[in-house]
Structure formats: C-alpha cells, structure tokens
Amino acid sequence: MIWFAWRQFRTQAAVVFGALAVLAVVVIVTGLQLRHWYDISGIANCAAAGDCDTVTSAFTTHYSWLQTLLGNVLIDFFPAVIGVFWGAPLIARELDTGSYRLVWTQSVTRTRWLAAKITIVGAASVAAVGLLSWMVTWWSTPFDKMANNKFDPSVFSERDIAPLGYAAFAFALGVTAGLLIRRTLPAMATTLVGYIAARVVVLIWIRPHFQAPLHATGLLQAPGSDSGLVKLPGATLAPQPGSWLVSSQILDPSGHPTNGRIEVRIGDPCVATHSCLTGYHQTITYQPASRYWPFQWYEMSLFIALAAILIGFCFWQINGRRLPTTSRILPGTRPDTPSRLEKTLDRDPAAHLDRATFTAAERPMTVRGKAGGHRQPDTRDGTDGSSR
Amino acid sequence: MTAVLDTDGLGKRYRRRWALTDCTLKIPAGRVVGLVGPNGAGKSTLLNLAVGLITPTCGRIDVLGTLPARGSAELGRVGFVAQDTPTYSGLSVADHLRMGARLNPGWDRQFAEDRIAQLGLDPAQRAGKLSGGERAQLALTVAVAKRPELLVLDEPVARLDPLARREFLQSLMEVVADQGVSVVLSSHLVADLERVCDHLIILVASRVRLTGDVDQLLATHHLLTGPRRDTDRLPADLHVVQESHTDRQSTLLVRTEAPILDPAWTVGQISLEDLVLAYMSQARAGASNNGHRRLTGVPR
C-alpha cells in the first residue's frame, strides 16, 4: 500500500520539492551575500560607534523584496497551501471521483490504506514546510540578529520549528475536512478557513499563556512639552531586548488605566515645571527572551497534538463507517414489513380478493430445488390462497 | 456449501429514504446471478452492502459466510466492479495492474498481463484516455486477477454501446467458465442478463420481488389465455402475477408448481424479459394503488 500511496503522490511531491530545490539555490546565493554585507556593515559594533540607525537602515534595504516574499508570504502561507492541496484532496478526491470503490475493495483494509496515505503525504508535508522554515530561518539570521525581535508575533511563527506544527495541523485538518465533507473543493475552502481561524485563536488567546507573563512597572519620564495635549509615548518602559511585549498600559496617579492621552489646560503650571506626568506610571507584561525556545516547542507541540487528534478522528470515522456491527435489527427503525401489511388485510374482509396478487407483489418468493425435483414456493406463513 | 450471499431482513436507509427494505436472500455458490430492477430500485445499495462499502441500517448480511469486508482476507475473496467502472484517470493501465499486484496477495500477474494483451490495451495508456468499454475491461481485469471467489459487478455495461456491451459480457462469461467464480451482476436491462445469468433477483422500489433459478422461474410461470373468468375461482395453487381481461377473454400470468390441466386455458410460455417486466409493473401498480389489483397490464 505504501507503494501505491507513493505512486499517487509522487508527481505532486516532485513539483513541490523541485520548487523547494530551486528556492534553495536562490536562498543560498543571496543568503551568503547578506552575510557578507552584514559583516562589512559594522552593525555588530555600531553601539560602540554610537550610530546604529544609519547602518541598520542601510542594511535593511538589501533584498527587502526577498525578505517579504520569504519571511512573510511564503513561510506563512505554505502550511495552508499544503493543507489545502495535499490534505483536503487526500480522501475527498477519491470520494469525488468514485475511485474509493476501486481501492477500498482491494485486499487492503481502509485503516491500512489511510495509514499509508497519511504516512507518506503527511511526512512529506512536514518535511517540505520544515525545509522551507529552515531555509527562511538561515537566510533571515542577519536581519534577526540586527532587529533582535524573533519573539515578536510577526516573526515568531515564521522561524525555526513552529511551522512544523502548522504543517502537520494544516494537513490533518485538510484530511479531516475531506473525509467529512466528501467533496474536494468545499473541503479545500473549509481547510483554509479553519487553518487561519486556528492560527489566530492560538496567537491571540493561547500563546501568551503558555507561561505566565512577567510584569514590570515604572514611572513615566515626562517629555518636555508646552502644548495643551501631551501624547504619551507608547512604550517607554522596555523589557530586555528580544522579549515579547504582550501588553503595555499607562496608569494615572490613582491607578486607573488611561487611553494614552492626558489633557492639560494651557497655562497649567505643571507645563512650566514639566511635572504634568508626575504620578503617572506604565505597566507592561512580557515574555522574556529566554523563553523563545520553550515557546517554539509549546507552539509546535500544540499544533502537532491538534493534528494527532484530527488524524485519530479520521481513523475512527473511516472504520466506524465500514464495520457492520453484527446482525442488529433495531426496534423502531425497521421499515414496514409485508407481514404487517398482511395483518391489516386480514382484518378487512373486502381486501381478501386482493390477497393473492398482493402477496405475490409484496412478498419475495423463492423457488427452490432443481427442475423436476421437489418444488415448493416459499410462503413462510402459509396464508397464500388460504381463503380461496 | 455456504451461500455466497445470505441476507436476513437487510435494510439500508439514507437519511429518511429507505434504499433497500427487508431483503432476505440466500444465493448458492457457483451461480451467475442477475440482479434486475428499474433505476433507483436499490440494486447498487444491495451490491455495495455485499462488498462492504456501506453498512446496513438493519438486518444481517453474510458474504461467503462472513461479514463483508471485515478484514483483508475477506476483501480478497470478493472482486468488485463498481458502477461506471471507476479507475484512476492519471494512472496508466500498467499502474493499475501494479496496484492490483501490490494490494492483493492472491494476484495473478500472468492472467492480468495476458488479458490486457489479449484485449489490445496499451499498458502505457493512461486510464483517463481509455474508452468506456476499455475502462470496463480494465476494471474487470483488476477485479478478476485477484482471484476472488465471488465477483460482484454493479451495472458494468450500463454506459457501454451495444458492441462493447456484448464483448464485455462475453469476456465475463469466459472468466466464469475458466475460474468457476460465482457472479452477482446487476443491470436494468433484462436482455443483458438473459444471456449470462442462471439465477435471478428482481428488485423493485427497494424490495425483493422474486428470486430463483432462471430455469425454475420459466418452468413455473405460464401465460394462460381463455374465456373470461374471475381469478378468485382459480385453483388454490395458482398464483396470479398479472391479469388482463377483455369482454370475453382473460389473459393471466400465473405461477404454479403443478401442471395446468384445465382444458379451457391455452398455455403459453413466457420469456424471461416479459416475466421480469410483469413483476416490475405489478410491483409498481402495487405501490401506486396501495395493493389493489391492476387490471390493464398485458404481458407483452
């Protein structure tokens, strides 16, 4: 079965891995160039020189298009593409085209058939996304070193091992959608929507709570201002570099949160003394940089666990639909049988005339025996013709 | 000898509609069984149940003495050619044979290759480019080369032109003669089945109407023509399947085990096709008239 699953899949695999090979060439060539430019840019010791802004902004212009393409578009959408084009059609296409009737009646159980397909295509999905993530992570290293923001949500999910979990999940979601919806195109659409929804939910509600975030509070440093309105700076209190700033809030002297604006009357003496912000303080919650790798593992494990649940569900479904659970005749679900109709006829004398025709019509008859031998029409309860 | 197909009170419901109702059958081994009925009668449902693609809503079904498709051993004993003979359009003829070889421990490679060569199919041809007849032949080859004890075919010739249809049925008969395999074959065309079947099941509106060996059915059904008379004055062992009356004459299709001795009747033989049509139209009348007798139907 492994061979057959591979035979069905090999063209698609060749296309994707071929494209990845081409991409790898681009990534290696441009990545080496980037490293060279990074080394000569002086970013590594710009802090000592005291002018980091100029060198970093000069460096960021290199291959900015490729940065967007690789680091944002490709790596973000690739798991979804895998789920939509490899996961969803895996079962749905067989059901769509009717070929399941061919393959499910060979001497291979559906469980083994599904196991082989999921092993081959699932492994290829994770491998393809893993390769891309590896390339992107390697290629972006100079930028990431410079910006030191890998924990930021905009970058976190595009580097290292988190995409492996996304790939497994997107694929499993596609397979499940295909099995339940049984039609390829709707299954593909559902997969895309479901995948995006799951990613958003995890990003907003779950990832910040993998570990309880740390808090920090500090007084605001008031910028000198004589305008009537003082706009407060966004995050004057910065956690250590490389951390993920989960939330930041400015509290007034009595401890109530503000919306980030404080109204000051013109001529208020505090303007002159620069004391309008006295008592205002900022509180931030953040995940420290040291938790980057644990969070990568949590993120990947969470999505792999979701994928495992979905795959388990698929195996349960594909078996549950097949197994005829012995000879059950459920009370109440059995349709009207001829015998019940006949009883009705027995109570109605006017219907007697019709019985012969009726029973012949509504009754399966079995003619047994060889020609010339003992013949007996199967009348079961012997009511046929008894009234004539 | 175990029955190839043994069902008891078998029923299948799709949502609210019963596709098969109270189906009780016992088909002995070694027969070529024709399953006949109009479109939508439940033929495909019965055959899909027999190969384990769907599960019954109620009742029991045994195929070759076990639950259908319970494991790979059971799957290997039944060959199936599904309706519209599905194949993988992207795979070549040779790939289909390779698939059969990998997926079936009992695969007869020699037979499969010989048969493809004999049919004149190009092994490198993709299945999607085959004609309907060639595709049906490919599906039959895959189903037979796994060396099943029971071969189930669901309307294999429905979409074929008359020539391809004849060729397909001929090659099916060769396979049956060579391998002694039991066959269940469905069709809505009696003429197809008449040539190949020795056992018949008539299925109309989700119910089994008649089942028996063809010889037996033909020997026990007679077409009687004679002076007009009421059917309730007939002998008790004479079952009227269909009747029509003019002012003076009555024409009856009857089923009886005994010879017709009444000299008033002219006894005629009935063809299998007419017999099937009589049961079908009678069942339809039974359904529409709530069991009341239909007086106008004339066996052709």
Burial B218-230 (b: 16+ CB within 10 A, else e): bbbbbbbebeeee
CA distance A174 to B31: 45
Chain A interface, best mutation among B102, B217, B252, B275, by max A CB count within 10 A: B102
Which domain does B277 fall in, by range? 216-288
pLDDT band at A335 (very low <50, low <70, confident <90, very high): very low
Q: What integer pLDDT is reported at residue A121 of this predicted model?
A: 95
B205 to chain A: closest CA residue: A362
**Which of the residue ranges A232-241, A372-381, B206-215 would you say has the lowest mean pLDDT?**
A372-381
Q: Is B61 an 8 Å CB contact of chain A?
A: yes
Which residues in chain A have their CB less than 8 angstroms from residue B211's CB? 364-367
- 8 Å CB contact of B55 and A341: no
Is there a domain that residue A330 lies in? no
Q: Quick count: other Cβ atoms within 10 Å of Cβ B80?
A: 28
A348 near B76, Cβ under 8 Å? no
pLDDT band at A196 (very low <50, low <70, confident <90, very high): very high
Chain A interface, best mutation among B146, B210, B254, by max A CB count within 10 A: B210
Q: Residue B114 is encoded by which pair of tokens?
A: 């010989």
Is residue A13 exposed (0-12), middle (13-18) or buried (19+ Cβ within 10 Å)?
Answer: middle
More confident residue, A115 or A372: A115
Helix (H, G, I), strand (E, B) or coil at B15: coil
Residues B12 and B138 in one domain: yes
Is there a domain that residue B228 lies in? yes
Residues A157 and A300 in one domain: yes
Section A242-266 average pLDDT: 74
Chain B interface, best mutation among A117, A367, A383, by max B CB count within 10 A: A367
Q: Is B126 an 8 Å CB contact of chain A?
A: no
Q: What integer pLDDT is reported at residue B103 of this predicted model?
A: 92
Chain B interface, best mutation among A100, A101, A384, A386, by max B CB count within 10 A: A101
A96-139 pLDDT tens trace: 888 898 999 999 999 999 999 999 999 999 999 999 999 999 98
Give the position of tokens 């509180």: A283
Residues A239 and A253 in one domain: yes
**Which of the residue ranges A114-118, B28-32, B103-107, B292-296 would you say has the lowest mean pLDDT?**
B292-296
Is there a domain that residue B37 lies in? yes
Is there a domain that residue B211 lies in? no
Distance from CA of A62 to the nearest CA of B (A): 45
Is there a domain that residue A339 lies in? no
Distance from CA of B94 to the nearest CA of A (A): 12
Q: What integer pLDDT is reported at residue A302 of this predicted model?
A: 95
What letter would DSSP give residue A291? Answer: G
Q: Is the pLDDT of residue B239 over 60?
A: yes
CB proximity under 8 Å: B 138-157 to A: 139, 142-143, 146
CA distance B152 to B186: 8
- 8 Å CB contact of B220 and A375: yes
CB proximity under 8 Å: A 314-353 to B: 321-330, 333-335, 337-338, 341, 345, 351, 353
> Distances from the Cα of A337 to the Cαs of A193, A330, B11, B67, in angstroms?
47, 14, 11, 24
Q: Is the pLDDT of residue B143 over 50?
A: yes
Is there a domain that residue A75 lies in? yes
Q: Is B260 an 8 Å CB contact of chain A?
A: no
A142 sits in the region (left: phi over 0; alpha: psi -120 to 50; else beta) called alpha
Could you say which of B204, B237, B254 is where a domain stops? B204
Burial A104-139 (b: 16+ CB within 10 A, else e): bbbbbbbeebbbbbbebbbebbbbbbebbbbbbbeb
Could you say which of B161, B180, B204 is where a domain stops? B204
Distance from CA of B222 to the nearest CA of A (A): 15
Residues A52 and A111 in one domain: yes
**Which of the residue ranges A82-86, A166-170, A278-282, B39-43 would you say has the lowest mean pLDDT?**
A278-282
A337 to chain B: closest CA residue: B22
Q: What integer pLDDT is reported at residue B296 of this predicted model?
A: 36
Spatial neighbors of A25 by CB under 8 A, at least 6 apart, are: none
Spatial neighbors of B32 by CB under 8 A, at least 6 apart, are: B176, B182, B183, B185, B196, B197, B198, B199
Distance from CA of A100 to the nearest CA of B (A): 8
Q: What is the DSSP string of B155-166?
A: STTTTS-HHHHH
A344 to chain B: closest CA residue: B291
Measure CB to CB from residue A323 to each of B22, B51, B55 and give the nearest one: B55
Residues B139 and B165 in one domain: yes
Q: What integer pLDDT is reported at residue B286 of this predicted model?
A: 56
Spatial neighbors of B10 by CB under 8 A, at least 6 apart, are: B20, B22, B23, B24, B25, B46, B49, B56, B58, B59, B60, B61
B209 to chain A: closest CA residue: A364
Residues B30 and B166 in one domain: yes
More confident residue, A334 or B5: B5
Task: Indicate the length of chain B as a whole number.
Answer: 300
Section A322-328 average pLDDT: 32
- 8 Å CB contact of A377 and B216: no
Distance from CA of B74 to the nearest CA of A (A): 8
Q: What integer pLDDT is reported at residue A371 of this predicted model?
A: 40
Distance from CA of A182 to the nearest CA of B (A): 15
Which residues in chain B have their CB less than 8 angstroms from residue A98's CB? 82-84, 86
B102 to chain A: closest CA residue: A1
Q: What integer pLDDT is reported at residue A216 of this predicted model?
A: 78
Is there a domain that residue B221 lies in? yes
Q: Is A109 an 8 Å CB contact of chain B?
A: yes
What is the interface size between A and B, counted as CB pairs within 8 Å? 195
Which residues in chain A have their CB less than 8 angstroms from residue B217's CB? 367
CA distance A231 to B23: 82
Q: What integer pLDDT is reported at residue A122 of this predicted model?
A: 95
Q: What integer pLDDT is reported at residue B157 of this predicted model?
A: 85
Share of chain B above pLDDT 90, in %: 26
More confident residue, B206 or A147: B206
Residues A42 and A97 in one domain: yes
Q: What integer pLDDT is reported at residue A382 of this predicted model?
A: 40
Taking alpha carbons only, the member of B217, B225, B235, B233 closest to residue B273 is B217
Q: What integer pLDDT is reported at residue B205 of this predicted model?
A: 84
Q: What integer pLDDT is reported at residue A230 of this predicted model?
A: 43
Q: Residue A362 is encoded by which pair of tokens?
A: 């509504």
Is there a domain that residue B210 lies in? no
**Which of the residue ranges A174-178, B21-25, B118-122, B287-291 would you say has the lowest mean pLDDT?**
B287-291
> Distances from the Cα of B134 to the Cαs of A305, B83, B160, in angstroms?
47, 14, 10
Could you say which of B175, B204, B233 is where a domain stops? B204
Residues B140 and B236 in one domain: no
The highest-confidence range among A244-258, A304-318, B4-18, by mean pLDDT, is A304-318
Which domain does A137 fall in, by range? 2-211+292-320
CA distance B296 to B299: 10
Q: What integer pLDDT is reported at residue A178 of this predicted model?
A: 92
Q: Is the pLDDT of residue A341 over 50?
A: no
Taking alpha carbons only, the member of B218, B126, B69 closest to residue A324 is B69
Chain B interface, best mutation among A102, A318, A319, by max B CB count within 10 A: A102
Which residues in chain B have their CB less than 8 angstroms from residue A109's CB? 69, 71-72, 75
Residues B35 and B142 in one domain: yes
Is there a domain that residue B299 lies in? no
- 8 Å CB contact of A321 and B55: yes
Residues B124 and B151 in one domain: yes
Residues B12 and B101 in one domain: yes
Is there a domain that residue B298 lies in? no
CB proximity under 8 Å: A 111-170 to B: 112
Which residues in chain B have their CB less than 8 angstroms from residue A10's CB? none
Q: Is the pLDDT of residue A338 over 70?
A: no
Share of chain A above pLDDT 70, in %: 71
Residues A284 and A296 in one domain: no
Taking alpha carbons only, the member of B233, B230, B271, B237 closest to residue B254 is B237
Distance from CA of A300 to the nearest CA of B (A): 35
Residues A186 and A242 in one domain: no
CA distance B118 to A348: 64
Measure CB to CB from residue A385 to each of B82, B99, B236 and give the nearest one: B236
CB proximity under 8 Å: B 164-193 to A: none
- 8 Å CB contact of A105 and B24: no
Residues A283 and A297 in one domain: no
Q: Is the pLDDT of residue A308 over 90?
A: yes
Q: What integer pLDDT is reported at residue A333 of this predicted model?
A: 35
Residues B16 and B37 in one domain: yes
Is there a domain that residue B182 lies in? yes
- Is this prediction's pTM over 0.90? no
Query: What's the domain count of chain A?
Result: 3
Average pLDDT taken over every residue of chain B: 85
Residues B24 and B99 in one domain: yes
Residues A235 and A139 in one domain: no
CA distance A371 to A337: 31
CA distance B4 to B66: 10
Q: Is B45 an 8 Å CB contact of chain A?
A: no
B47-76 pLDDT tens trace: 999 998 888 889 999 999 888 888 888 888
- 8 Å CB contact of B231 and A4: no
